[in-house]
A and B are shown apart, each in its own frame.
Chain A
């Protein structure tokens, strides 16, 4: 019996023995990513690190600092990278949201293990990397020792077939998966099948990132030519992809024909088994805020489609549309291509790159009883602000269409001529 991607990568990092679900292995971690929130005043600082070259520091959640406490924490981070000689440091204006920074700079590589104290770290699975969120103390352990434990989990395989239609994006595919598979806690997600090659890298990253919302341990794609070509254009570091064996064993398999999908939306408070086609809301849900952004959906593709939807139109009166890029690089390219100008002319607000509104931190916090449609990562009660606010989740296209209509709307009429 063969191994899944995750089993194979865990095996390679723990001495090469066979790894089966349930096995606990201690693995060398390749990339250790720390974010601004872990450097708060009073947070314990280690006396020595395993290897500063493995460590990456990205300031992303509370940037530019909205509070004195956040500013103080970021000063500590800057001192930390100097004291320990950490060279991979992404300060304000030089990086963005950690998961996007990791993907665009070739830090997460096929066959590697990456850890970060952010629950959406599974994002790097888009590049065939075994990546997951860890608690802040466990991140300290990994920075000190270079190692941690994994209990190999059974794997749920998701097979994609066909080509997605013009009105369907990575988020819609994910929300459909959430409807059919529900929560997969205690399991890995492994994406594959003939439909993967037609999926843009941004859509793959959305799917892997959102794996956290189904409580997946890891959410990996195979490293196909598209991924490898991209990575070789941004890094010289060698890597060895890990595809699953043909006779690998799976706990369950879902077969999804991408050509049959429609725009989806998640209703407030949680995602598993709480998503429906946008059309089923029948334009009944009025909104106060429309947010495009986060590690999952603040990508160039999101700017592109949001700009296409709002071009020559106006955001509805009484609605605020906020667009937050997932990185400085995305924003720069979105400016160059004219997407930002289009968004601004429609009445949208474009912010700097930050986790900002997604976690209810700043730049778009919701007030009591407000309704938001968001393409960000999480819709828990209170996630983006006041606990009485209601958060619906959809693709950036649906968010943009909803901003124009003032109520949650299917974006299909705006996307007919999209290639």
Chain B
């Protein structure tokens, strides 16, 4: 079970750099009672039409301030299922951050990241050290590392994997 989720990833960057990108843009209320497959067809669909056809497994998201503000609906799960391999944002809403951990999506905060990266750049994110490197432009920044306690949850594959292992489900 351990080490199954990589905490150092390399991928193509998508910029969602506006402040206050919210959960409802990822998972509109019209679909949150629907099956996962249907939810996946609505991620950022009104905010950024066409993005769903372009995002590829391994891509990373670069966000602005207060990324993921809003409700407890797990937008992080949908990003993960679309293949997004990590999130780095100027700042991340606390509930959204917890859901990143819960669903095993590596996430870090890094001041200045939205000026470090242009869309399509290849970046390497090391959540254990809080480091983001822009491999396309040869520059980098250090933000806040993911605490070891939380790294362990992500490595285990998220909360449900742990609870299953402990016999609760």
**A contacts, CB < 8 Å to B:** 24, 37, 40, 44-48, 62, 67, 69-70, 117-119, 132-138, 140-141, 144-145, 149, 151, 153, 183, 185-186, 213, 215, 217, 270, 272, 359-361, 378, 380-383, 387
Contacts and interface: CB of A to CB of B under 8 A. Distances in A.
Nearest to A142: B159
Interface string B157-169: 0111011001111
Interface stretch (B6-14, B68-76, B123-131): B68-76
Contact of A133 (B25, B72, B169): B72
Given A183-B66, A215-B69, A380-B70, A138 B94 contact: no
A47 B169 contact: yes
Contacts of B168: 46-48, 140, 144-145
Contact of B33 (A40, A149, A380, A381): A40
Contacts of B162: 141
B61 interface: no
B39 interface: no
7 contacts: A44-B160, A118-B71, A135-B74, A149-B150, A183-B66, A185-B69, A270-B22
Contacts of B66: 183, 185, 215, 272
Contact of B169 (A46, A153, A361, A378): A46
B160 A138 contact: no
A135 B80 CA distance: 15
B102 A185 contact: no
Given A183-B20, A215-B66, A137 B169 contact: no
A47 B167 contact: yes
A117 B74 CA distance: 11
B93 interface: yes
Interface in B91-105: 91-95, 98-99, 102-103
A47 B163 CA distance: 11
Contacts of B70: 119, 378, 380
Interface size class of B (residues with CB under 8 A): 35 or more
A137 B158 contact: yes
Given A141-B159, A380-B22, A117 B150 contact: no
Contacts of B109: 186
B22 to A, nearest CB: 5
Nearest to A62: B33
A23 to B, nearest CB: 10
A138 B24 contact: no
A314 B33 CA distance: 37
B28 interface: yes
B33 A134 contact: no
B78 to A, nearest CB: 12
B114 interface: no
A118 B20 contact: no
Given A215-B94, A217-B94, A383-B29, A138 B102 contact: yes
5 closest Cβ pairs, A-B complex? A135-B99, A144-B168, A119-B71, A270-B20, A137-B159
A5 to B, nearest CB: 17
A112 B101 CA distance: 24
Contacts of B147: 24, 151
Nearest to A216: B94
B91 to A, nearest CB: 5
A135 B95 contact: yes
Given A140-B159, A215-B66, A153 B94 contact: yes
B65 A183 contact: yes
Contact of A272 (B20, B30, B74, B163): B20
